[in-house]
Structure 1
């Protein structure tokens, strides 16, 4: 909450109570002397402010935090009754007494106090009800803002975890492969090193935003697939198709990576069998279609603690729910030792 917003709120509150005091004074002076009307207006405004401030700034936030609204309703009724009694006293001794001689016995004054009490109930209810309504609206808005900020922080933490997950998994294997290639094929080692540097550059300099251009994310996926293909060599058949029409589309960074990494991680590794991975990624009219298919075996899946998909896939599911709640459709299925992922995603056309 900014200082300017707080200042505007204080100004609005001051103007509200000032206007209420002026209206009460104008109303009272019709039937009462001006100085008595002024005293009544000031006392009513000050007492109303004190009671409503206690109700809305102390009791209501506490009830919302502790989720005890039934208790707050009882407290609100008590505050309204107490304020009405206070109004009745003002009405009796500053409005009635100057005009009519009140009985000396308090029991004989009770009818005047009772009249002032039930006449004050509607005003007390309206003042406190309006104040509670405004405060509840503000508190609800604050809770919503805090929830959004918490979701954003959660997403940022997940993205950082994802980046940290990718780096150790890829870096060790690729650097080791480059080390071997430098002794046998320096040209291929140089090519692989350049692709790997592009991967790291994207992760370091382009993934700190909420959204990144789709073409940058696609280039990153291409480099990742190319590096994995070179690392696996003839042990794996990889068929990847990447197509997109517009360069104005944006996507959450590293959102598609777990699907690609899972395909390479859980592809069939049985002796005497050549695994395969098929990847289709297309964009049309700001709608992204991703299809990933790979062969797998029950044996390595049983050894995996996380199963097919692992932690990365669980994280990306959460990210999709938070960042694209009504704009995605994810289907994951297995069929005859084939693992399939189909994702349809409505993309943003602006980097918000």
Structure 2
């Protein structure tokens, strides 16, 4: 059994024409209480719908796609004139063909319909209202569709970059880890083995476990812990690393690799001054459906090179957050000469707006 879908645009436009028809019928019935005005009402609504929808549903989408709105404005003026002429012609003809000279006629009606130009001018506001309403509604629909397409294209681009991140390990990290493993194999075999296992888990997670829209939070946390552990082993006593992991519901879903660029960025740009020990402080706290991620690192006054990047980049992470958690996240980045700090709050109960692979 097919699921019924409530077509809001169809309901709205149908309601508009029904309301217009009822208003028109009520007006005619007030002027001619003993005359059957249903035929005039139906014919007027039909002609109005035909002309206005030809403009709004046929010509407006073409103008928007081709960027020829000046031509559409001219078409709208012509359509308004045609609609005005049609409606005024129907009213004018109804009076002179059906009402004039009958018991329904009176001096007031004769005066109102004496001159067709007067009827035409009096009908212009009604025609503008009809054209403006139908075109306005259609323009809103077209704009909404274009905005959706733009969002989907932007999201697809960002997710393609995420795919690259999954399929290609950061060469800088891989080079440093392998180089460090080579050194540790000569000095501390046990520590080298530990580093190799953790690095293997990092590779496995990025290459095989991130091919889904969302993953349990506990898996993402385990990955982050391995990443931090590898960096701690690499840096040794040169860097103070403090971490707080407070996860109350690890089964809650989160978009994979969302926090990784912040961690990579902290270790990549931590201060390397020989006179002082650098630091990285990380806190991940979950309270009900709210996840708060805070990471701070000592910062060197020396500016980073422009060609340096971390993962998919902090800028793209911000774009991903806007698309995947719109209105359900808060990101604050603070940068000074002494430190760099990121505070990210995510509402995990938000249904992710995601385009799969």
TM-score, with structure 2 as normaliser: 0.71
The corresponding residue for 1:258 is 261
Please report how far the alpha carbon of residue 83 of structure 1 lies from its aligned counterpart in structure 2 after TM superposition. Answer: 1.0
Cα distance between partner residues in 2 of 1:88 and 1:196: 80
| Alpha-carbon spacing, 1:247–1:351, altered in 2? closer, same or farther (3 Å) | farther
Cα distance between partner residues in 1 of 2:12 and 2:314: 50
User: Which residue of 226, 231, 237 corresponds with 2:229?
Assistant: 226
Farther off after superposition, 199-208 or 13-22: 13-22
The corresponding residue for 2:345 is 346
Please report how far the alpha carbon of residue 227 of structure 1 lies from its aligned counterpart in structure 2 after TM superposition. Answer: 1.9
The corresponding residue for 2:51 is 51
Q: Does 1:200 align with 2:183?
A: no
| Alpha-carbon spacing, 1:263–1:57, altered in 2? closer, same or farther (3 Å) | same
Cα distance between partner residues in 2 of 1:4 and 1:201: 43
User: Which residue of 95, 112, 116 corresponds with 1:113?
Assistant: 116
Q: Secondary structure at the match of 2:349?
A: coil
Please report how far the alpha carbon of residue 56 of structure 1 lies from its aligned counterpart in structure 2 after TM superposition. Answer: 1.0
Report the RMSD for the aligned CA atoms in angstroms.
4.3
Farther off after superposition, 179-188 or 146-155: 179-188
Cα distance between partner residues in 1 of 2:239 and 2:21: 82
The corresponding residue for 1:76 is 76
| Alpha-carbon spacing, 1:349–1:267, altered in 2? closer, same or farther (3 Å) | closer
How many residues align structurally? 332
Q: Secondary structure at the match of 1:240?
A: strand
1:250 and 1:347 in contact (8 A); partners too: no
The corresponding residue for 1:332 is 335
TM-score, with structure 1 as normaliser: 0.71
Cα distance between partner residues in 2 of 1:221 and 1:173: 18
| Alpha-carbon spacing, 1:266–1:86, altered in 2? closer, same or farther (3 Å) | closer
| Alpha-carbon spacing, 1:70–1:310, altered in 2? closer, same or farther (3 Å) | same
| Alpha-carbon spacing, 1:263–1:8, altered in 2? closer, same or farther (3 Å) | closer
2:267 and 2:280 in contact (8 A); partners too: no
Please report how far the alpha carbon of residue 44 of structure 1 lies from its aligned counterpart in structure 2 after TM superposition. Answer: 2.4
1:263 and 1:277 in contact (8 A); partners too: no
When you count helix as a share of all residues, which structure comes out higher? Answer: 1
| Alpha-carbon spacing, 1:177–1:115, altered in 2? closer, same or farther (3 Å) | same
Please report how far the alpha carbon of residue 345 of structure 1 lies from its aligned counterpart in structure 2 after TM superposition. Answer: 1.6
Deviation per residue, 1:125-162 (Å, 9 max, x gap): 33223222322332343234334323432432342344
The corresponding residue for 1:239 is 241
Cα distance between partner residues in 2 of 1:74 and 1:283: 60
The corresponding residue for 2:155 is 152
| Alpha-carbon spacing, 1:237–1:121, altered in 2? closer, same or farther (3 Å) | closer
User: Which residue of 274, 279, 282 corresponds with 1:280?
Assistant: 282
Farther off after superposition, 207-216 or 14-23: 14-23
The corresponding residue for 2:317 is 316
Deviation per residue, 1:138-192 (Å, 9 max, x gap): 2343234334323432432342344356443334443555567667765444433
2:167 and 2:207 in contact (8 A); partners too: no
Cα distance between partner residues in 2 of 1:333 and 1:343: 12
Please report how far the alpha carbon of residue 82 of structure 1 lies from its aligned counterpart in structure 2 after TM superposition. Answer: 1.8
| Alpha-carbon spacing, 1:262–1:116, altered in 2? closer, same or farther (3 Å) | closer
Q: Structure 1, unaligned stretches of length 5 or more?
A: 102-109
The corresponding residue for 1:90 is 90
Cα distance between partner residues in 2 of 1:321 and 1:90: 53
1:211 and 1:351 in contact (8 A); partners too: no
2:261 and 2:312 in contact (8 A); partners too: no
Q: Secondary structure at the match of 1:195?
A: helix
Please report how far the alpha carbon of residue 84 of structure 1 lies from its aligned counterpart in structure 2 after TM superposition. Answer: 1.2
1:87 and 1:116 in contact (8 A); partners too: no
2:271 and 2:300 in contact (8 A); partners too: yes
Q: Does 1:138 align with 2:137?
A: no
2:246 and 2:285 in contact (8 A); partners too: yes
Q: Secondary structure at the match of 1:246?
A: coil
The corresponding residue for 1:291 is 295
